[in-house]
A and B are shown apart, each in its own frame.
Chain A
Amino acid sequence: MDAIFEEYRAIIPDFSGFQGSLQRPMCTHLRINRLRIEPRSLLDRLERKGVKLERSSKIDDSLFFAPGLTSPGNLPEYFSGYLHPQALTSCLAAIALDPAPESFVLDLCAAPGGKTSHVAQLMGNTGLIIANELYPGRHAGLGHTLSRLGVLNTIVTGYQAQQFPMKQRFDYVLADVPCSGEGRFRKIGENGFYQTRKSKLKLPDLQKKILLRGFDLLKEDGVLLYATCTYNPDENESVIQHLLTERDARLLPVVTGVSCEPGLTKWRGRRYDVQIRKSARFYPHRLDSVGFFMARIGRRT
């Protein structure tokens, strides 16, 4: 068997387990949308249809694996906005951000809207979210997700994330940046061949610019969450290190209630600030989801 992501052998714990996880299809994962229905009611509805859900988080009772349910988008409950198919690790971003009700929130790279709508859910549809998405072609899909899920506290803008206007500062900023998407890869089906694209090399530069702008848009006591779905330290820890070098930033703990590994403090001869250990790496063999990286950041006081 070819070892995919061989370059990460030294940094991913239980590398053979990780490799094995890439051979398996990912279990469907759902977020029950509290803006529209209470989890217990939806669980009862789906159970009557023969769909059994398994809770995926100890601290959040709206997140569930749905083994055997391959097309949740074909349920009337999907049309009615009761649920949203969303990878567990993707759901953890809003949980880690932990936005307070009535806050002013900026989601810098918002499409397709899963995380934005989750943030709205956690805020109980209060406050205001700016859902920014550069590509106009993605606005319709973003708007559809938000309206299907009953999100009423959001407006959509179309700025380049790294040039989002410095007109206002925000209580929370979510920077779920464009990335190489390595964490989504499973060695199955037609897409079972991972190819590194040349454009991947340009991503860290863009990610650094977006992160700096996101940080500059924070209020004094604001919180920023940087997230990617890649294992690549050049797109993760190196980007955070750049922020720590350029700005008075500090890492805050990432609390999600699920298993994760700490951020790296060295990679290919480079050393990172020790506080980057507070960031979180999520691996598919640990929680049967998309590989993810998150760092929660505040201003140094």
Chain B
Amino acid sequence: MIQWDSSWPELAEERERQHLFSQLEDRFGIPRSLFDGYLLFKREKSWSLVRNSSHIVAAAQFKVSMVGIRAFQKVGAYIKPTTRMLQIFGGAATRARIVLDENQLERLLGGERLCMDLDLDRGYVILTLGKHMILGAGFYARGELHSQIPRKELKIRMIRMPLE
């Protein structure tokens, strides 16, 4: 039994952990087993993910301000995988992955909703620029896609800006 300093977020219960990772598997096809080597912590409405290690026992004694990366966030009735979570693990997704071109991305970042007829239930999708560059999350509902990518971080002008 690890003695965590009180500053640590709460270690997620197994049931909660299974629920969150099953959600990724069911929606995106990201295998649950991918997260076997990780610890999941909960603080208020968000969950953070950190690589498990034999050193965690030693680190548990320290006062911490952050643990790993923020992996999930509760948004209304949904639990949203964060941009970084999808950027890191989205490469393993086999579905609910939408490939955008630069025009579509610019429109999404401008706040537009894109009309798309996809064989997908309402919920989060993974947005990529071209086949390989995973940008983060979008939300698909009733034939419309809108962006969940933080617009402060990925700005329209970054998509086609002159580089020099």
Contacts and interface: CB of A to CB of B under 8 A. Distances in A.
Given A147-B70, A157-B62, A75 B158 contact: yes
Contact of A76 (B38, B58, B70, B129): B129
B63 interface: yes
Query: Interface residues of A: mostly helix, strand, loop or mixed?
Result: loop
Interface string B42-74: 000000011101111011011111111110000
Contacts of B154: 76, 79
A298 interface: no
A161 to B, nearest CB: 13
Residue with the highest number of chain A CB atoms closer than 10 Å, among B58, B63, B132: B58
Interface residues of B, number: 37
A80 B66 contact: no
A296 B119 CA distance: 58
Contacts of A77: 133
Nearest to A151: B69
A149 B111 CA distance: 26
Contacts of B64: 155-157
Most chain A CB inside 10 Å of its own CB: which residue of B58, B65, B67, B69: B65
Given A74-B158, A75-B158, A153 B65 contact: no
A104 B55 contact: yes
Given A139-B65, A159-B63, 12 more contacts: A74-B161, A76-B135, A104-B55, A127-B53, A128-B53, A147-B84, A150-B69, A152-B68, A153-B68, A154-B50, A165-B61, A167-B62
23 contacts: A74-B155, A74-B157, A76-B129, A76-B154, A79-B135, A81-B84, A102-B53, A104-B55, A128-B53, A128-B55, A136-B65, A142-B66, A146-B69, A147-B84, A148-B84, A151-B69, A152-B50, A152-B69, A152-B88, A157-B65, A159-B63, A167-B61, A168-B61
Interface of B: 38, 49-51, 53-56, 58-59, 61-70, 84, 87-88, 129, 132-135, 153-155, 157-159, 161, 163-164
